[in-house]
Amino acid sequence: MSLLTATFTYAAGLLTYTWFGAGSFGWLITLWVVLAFLVLLNLDALRIRFVSRPFLRTYRRMLPSMSQTEKDALEAGTVWWDGELFTGGPNWEKLMAAAAPRLSAEEQAFLDGPCEELCRMVDDWDITHRRADLPPHIWDYLKSKGFFAMIIPKKYGGLEFSAYAHSCVLVKLSSRSGVVASTVAVPNSLGPGELLLHYGTDEQRNHYLPRLARGEEVPCFALTGPRAGSDAGSIPDTGVVCKGMYEGREIVGIRLNFDKRYITLAPVATVIGLAFKLLDPDKLLGDRTDYGITCALIPRNTAGVSIGRRHFPLNNPFQNGPLHGKDVFVPLDVLIGGMKMAGQGWRMLVEQLSVGRCISLPSSATGAAKAAVFASGAYARIRRQFNTSVGNFEGVAELLARMTGHTYIMDAARSVTAGAIDGGEKPSVPAAMLKYHATEMARSVGNDAMDVHGGKGICLGPKNYLGRGYQMVPVAITVEGANVLTRSLIIFGQGAIRCHPFVLKEMEAARDKDKRRGVKEFDKALFGHIGFTISNAVRSLVMALTLARFSRVPESSTQRYFQHINRFSASFAFATDVAMLSLGGYLKKKESLSARLGDVLSSMYLASMVLKHYHNQGQPEEDLPLVEWACRSLLYRAQEQLHTFLRNFPIRFLAAFMRFFIFPRGQTYHAPSDPLGQRVVDAILHPTALRDRATHGIYRTVEPGNPLGLLHEALVLADTAEPLEKRIRVDGVKTGRITALDLPGQIQQALAAGILSETEAAVLRDYDRRVMDLIHVDDFDTSDLAAGAAREDVRLARVGNA
Ligand SMILES: Cc1cc2nc3c(=O)[nH]c(=O)nc-3n(C[C@H](O)[C@H](O)[C@H](O)COP(=O)(O)OP(=O)(O)OC[C@H]3O[C@@H](n4cnc5c(N)ncnc54)[C@H](O)[C@@H]3O)c2cc1C
């Protein structure tokens, strides 16, 4: 409501009250004084002079200090659904009308052809244990089939895939091998390809992109170093403009000195994307001496570059290593985009991160989680203890429900957000939310899968399909912006300024060099902001009292979840405003508060993605328990994090004030119930349509080397085998007609006793053989486990002992 409308509304109400109402004279006077104050506020000159201008002075002091790198990060990308959640009244029509992500025939053919074939070729144990690398034929296949060129346009020889197709490829690959998925993810994410596409000169594009597309060049991108990790803007690596000899003649070039580590693909890269600070102390290029962070492309064999050694990232030996450069002299045309992009490096990186972060890690994490759910559902069914499938125990079922629910959330978020990117968005705040939550949920799924599998998950070897994924989780948590920092600083910090309908306008007005214009703009934004805050406080209170029952949302079987998102959105927007107005720049230091508000925002975002995904899938009835589990757990988390935010809010009377508007009836929202979880588990323990949809897109082909396919095959057979086992137990073991202790012996006796027919005995024997093969783990000779030279020592010691 605008100030003018509010004043008229108040005046009308007051007149009615004065005419009909009861109350003391003093009370009436107070109300009329408020009206007078409101009327005065409507007079621009008075309002600006007595309210906005003095407040602007205080506001300028409260504004958090901001470096150029932070400003660049804030301005990167676009505002999408995240912006709606900041309004307190999201426009659902907008989200529901967005096109569902789709694969073209060509993209589908790639997934069913080269991608499927690649999965078939992969032997993850060979890669991770024996070879510590991809075998040469897989490297060749990746290059020749264009796996490194998914983002490169066709005119340069690339595949030019949609974001959704790119994501689906990573889902499939990561369900098979984390090393293969990481190797494919990096060239298609933030790196030379992406930077050249957006900022490269025509000459650079025409030279490099076809070579990258054909796999003739392998790229890496080097930003991080020993002194600059999370604070990447502080890299001490330099490129000093100077004269030097290059290819036999003296030119003005750049002398680089750098020390980088953790660089993916560096050991095998042929072209290095490098970030450094460009300095021109002798002003050879112009008036400036310090250009700031700049990006360049350096051929691997440039003199002074040392490259090739490897790090060993948690037994997932994708190519990753350090990179050093000592007095590397290169011409100016190595700068990506040429001299006009000198000093624009940070902006280039954060702009491209807003797309890449939505795809690489969220998709890889989703693929790994889907594989874990697919395997765990089958394993929990075929693994029997205490005469029943372990999945039937409530303790295990709780884990299975959580795993499946988390995976559904991840899948919904990555596919709907990829669809938005294909629709032209560059959603920077959702990118941070997806990166953080998908990898954290993958961590939770990985832990749960381990517990469901017991010892089977722990003993590494070719038969173990969980161990390497479990080890890979911290890698995903750390790269592309480590998670603690992403949660504490980025999600809410960037969201609050970028997505809020008024904050950025206020900040821009406060920083406006033209003071007169600044104060006018500030006044407009401030009063819009105040109206917005009041309206959200009221909406929050009303929806908390009515449990959002009357809130307008799209009609569907899931409408209550839409309504609860509306409620939390109003509460969140109100809490955000109070926190920002009262704490100002101090909120940036209170990382725990900011992180919790970020959790509320993320929970609402993810729940919205779940609802949209369900809608995109045609709202299948049987998926409803999963959708409800996902929404309930997310919205419960939103409530709990809002509550914890209020408990820790440092200005206590304001915390009580906010609590009145947000939780007038206390915490009324409940986490998913056990019966709801059980409905999810029932579907995942059986070969159902829900199980298929929830794990769609993984590599599940039935073939000897693929445990996922074999597990599912056994799961299907369990439907026939279990009644036979039950008959043996009830008619044989309990009656004393069968005395054997193991299943093969029992089958033999059951056949002799006429409890099973020949065919039934054969079916059960076959099932038992398959199950035993799947639950077996590997064992090794000590010399097989010893690495490298030590292996020979162990062998010689053996010979000596003998
Ligand atoms: C396997 C692997 C592959 C990688 N690939 C590449 C690559 O190809 N190219 C490249 O340039 N880099 C790469 N990186 C680097 C990666 O981006 C960094 O590791 C990451 O940015 C974190 O830096 P750090 O490891 O030095 O952690 P640190 O910066 O030392 O952080 C340690 C911890 O402190 C937290 N933290 C730091 N600051 C804050 C804060 N203000 N608030 C709250 N928490 C904070 C972090 O979240 C983290 O949990 C890779 C790293 C790994 C491990």
pLDDT tens-digit map of 151-177:
999 999 999 999 999 999 999 999 999
Element (H, E) at 326: strand 320-331
d(CA 718, CA 770): 11
Average pLDDT over residues 689-717: 96
Tell me how far apart the terminal alpha carbons of the chain are, to the nearest angstrom.
90
pLDDT tens-digit map of 441-475:
999 999 999 999 999 999 999 999 999 999 999 99
3-state secondary structure of 213: helix
d(CA 761, CA 6): 81
pLDDT tens-digit map of 130-149:
999 999 999 999 999 999 99
CB-CB contact of 684 with 400 (8 Å): yes
Q: How many percent of the chain have pLDDT more than 70?
A: 98
pLDDT tens-digit map of 621-634:
999 999 999 999 99
- Ligand 1 atom nearest to CA at 480: 17
CB-CB contact of 187 with 218 (8 Å): yes
Q: How confident is the model at residue 370 (pLDDT cuts 50, 70, 90)?
A: very high
Q: Which residues, including other chains, have CB under 8 Å from residue 745's CB and lie 6 or more apart? A: none
Q: Is the pLDDT of residue 246 over 80?
A: yes
pLDDT tens-digit map of 740-787:
999 999 999 999 999 999 999 999 999 999 999 999 999 999 888 887
Output the pLDDT for position 63: 75
Q: Which of 195, 231, 262 to mutate to test the pocket of ligand 1 (most atoms within 8 A of CB)?
A: 262
Q: How confident is the model at residue 123 (pLDDT cuts 50, 70, 90)?
A: very high
Output the pLDDT for position 25: 85
Which of 316 and 72 is assigned the larger pLDDT?
A: 316
Q: Distance from the CA of 769 to the center of ligand 1, in angstroms?
A: 47
Span of 290-299, 342-351, 391-400, 756-765 with lowest mean pLDDT: 342-351
E runs forming strands in 115-194:
none
Q: How confident is the model at residue 26 (pLDDT cuts 50, 70, 90)?
A: confident
Span of 44-48, 319-323, 613-617, 671-675 with lowest mean pLDDT: 44-48
Output the pLDDT for position 355: 83
CB-CB contact of 178 with 185 (8 Å): no
Would the CB of 478 count as within 6 Å of ligand 1? Answer: yes
Distances (CA, A) of 191 to 171, 205, 584, 728: 20, 13, 36, 61
Q: How confident is the model at residue 36 (pLDDT cuts 50, 70, 90)?
A: very high
d(CA 444, CA 10): 52
Would the CB of 361 count as within 6 Å of ligand 1? Answer: no
Q: Distance from the CA of 635 to the center of ligand 1, in angstroms?
A: 30
d(CA 512, CA 530): 21
Average pLDDT of the chain, as a whole number: 94
pLDDT tens-digit map of 325-349:
999 999 999 999 999 999 999 989 8
Q: Distance from the CA of 221 to the center of ligand 1, in angstroms?
A: 14
Q: Distance from the CA of 477 to the center of ligand 1, in angstroms?
A: 9
Would the CB of 482 count as within 6 Å of ligand 1? Answer: yes
Would the CB of 233 count as within 6 Å of ligand 1? Answer: no
Tokens of 665: 């009836």
Residue nearest to atom 14 of ligand 1 (CA): 262
**What are the catalytic residues?**
480
Q: What's the pTM value of the predicted model, to 2 decimals?
A: 0.94
Q: At which residue do the structure tokens 């650079």 appear?
A: 204
448-480 burial string, b = 16+ CB within 10 Å, else e? bbbebbeebbeebeeebbbbbbbbbbebbbbbb
Output the pLDDT for position 789: 66
Number of neighbouring beta carbons within 10 Å of residue 226 = 11
Q: At which residue do the structure tokens 């999408």 appear?
A: 80
Q: At which residue do the structure tokens 């991080």 appear?
A: 224
Number of neighbouring beta carbons within 10 Å of residue 661 = 20
Phi then psi for 475, rounded to 5 degrees?
Answer: -65, -50
Residue 78: strand pairing partners: 427
- Ligand 1 atom nearest to CA at 223: 11
CB-CB contact of 340 with 288 (8 Å): no
Output the pLDDT for position 265: 96
Q: Distance from the CA of 422 to the center of ligand 1, in angstroms?
A: 29
Average pLDDT over residues 385-399: 96
Q: How confident is the model at residue 802 (pLDDT cuts 50, 70, 90)?
A: low
Average pLDDT over residues 425-431: 93
